[in-house]
Structure 1
Amino acid sequence: MNDPRDFIAHEAALLDERRFDDWLALFTDDGHYWVPLLGAAQADPLSHNSLAYEDRLLLQLRVDRLKNPRAHSQHPASHSQHVLQPSRIEEESGDEVRLRTPFLYVEARGESQILLSGTARHHLVRSPSTPSGWTIRQKRIDLLDAARALPAIQLFI
């Protein structure tokens, strides 16, 4: 999977299939998952609050919680569906690429559903030692109207 656009679709499929360990393995050791509170207007995760700003350790803790059979928030289990528009390469430099992917995200748990939309921005690093050929240095989720009151999101957008 040399094309980074195929990698983005693969990553979303792992989440929708609840293959959280495989998804986490896509991140570099210094990788981050970021959901800015101000959406695209927020320049960095440290100058303002974020909905989520998690390194590998925090991501691992979330994955462990989701897999724990005693996790109250997962009775019944949450499921997701990512509907992606085609990814667009915004910048390519050496072994790194930045992509932009508009999406719709549906998360269902029991009788309730959440629908969110926004843009995923991936900073990928070429990694010949991984099956996909890429790893995620940062995944940023710019939600449409991120500053509004949002329901509890259990999974990863």
Structure 2
Amino acid sequence: MELQHRVEQFLYAEAELLDNHLYDEWIALFPEDALYWIPSRQTRPIRERDLEVSRLDETGFADDTIGMLRGRVRRITSGIQWSEEPPSRTRRLLTNIRVDEQPDATVLARTNFFVYRSRLERHQDWFVGERFDTLRPVTGGGFPYCIAERKIVFDQTTVLAPSISIFL
């Protein structure tokens, strides 16, 4: 119960950083060897369900290292990224958080998410799916974990949003 609560509070605090556009604080949650990826999804028959979500070496929406993530943060915070100027308004809802502590003290966390994005006066998008996080414990600082790996799997096969310019 304590581990579950600690992980939930960490993930809620991370979502709050993003919703409040605190990208420099958010990127500090990732270590130097971090991986942030969003595979693509295809509709497949039941017998091919294991092929529905692309593998890491296949096509996807994002396959970012820490350097690439920092570049995305710089573009968003500079005001020159047209798809986020003015910035989107977002709300992240996290639910069904399942945690599994590993023998090496890392934690595997599976989280269902709903991210609502509102842009300009009338544009609205939503992203729905499941996140798979590998969290490493850290000592010192304000957060108990860093996000070593994040895999984001959309429920949608076709993402109808004009861009995925926000972090999920």
Equivalence for 2:46: none
d(CA) in 2 for partners of 1:86, 1:57: 30
The 4+ residue runs of structure 1 with deviation greater than 6 A are none
d(CA) in 2 for partners of 1:96, 1:102: 20
Gap change, CA 1:133 and 1:91, over 3 Å in 2: closer
1:49 aligns with 2:65: no
d(CA) in 2 for partners of 1:101, 1:127: 21
d(CA) in 2 for partners of 1:149, 1:28: 29
Number of aligned pairs?
155
TM-score in terms of structure 2 length:
0.84
TM-score in terms of structure 1 length:
0.89
* Percent of residue pairs identical: 25
One of 79, 84, 94 as aligned partner of 1:84 = 94
Q: How does 1:98-117 map to 2 (within 5 A)?
A: 98-110=108-120, 111-117=122-128
Equivalence for 2:130: 119
d(CA) in 2 for partners of 1:59, 1:102: 22
Larger strand fraction of residues: 1
d(CA) in 2 for partners of 1:93, 1:58: 30
- Match for 2:24: what amino acid? D
Higher relative contact order (CA 8 A, sep 6+): 1
CA-to-aligned-CA distance 1:50-107 (integer Å, 9 cap, x gap): 1111011100110011011233222321121101114111443332010111111111
Is there any run of 5+ residues in structure 2 with no aligned partner, and where?
A: 43-49
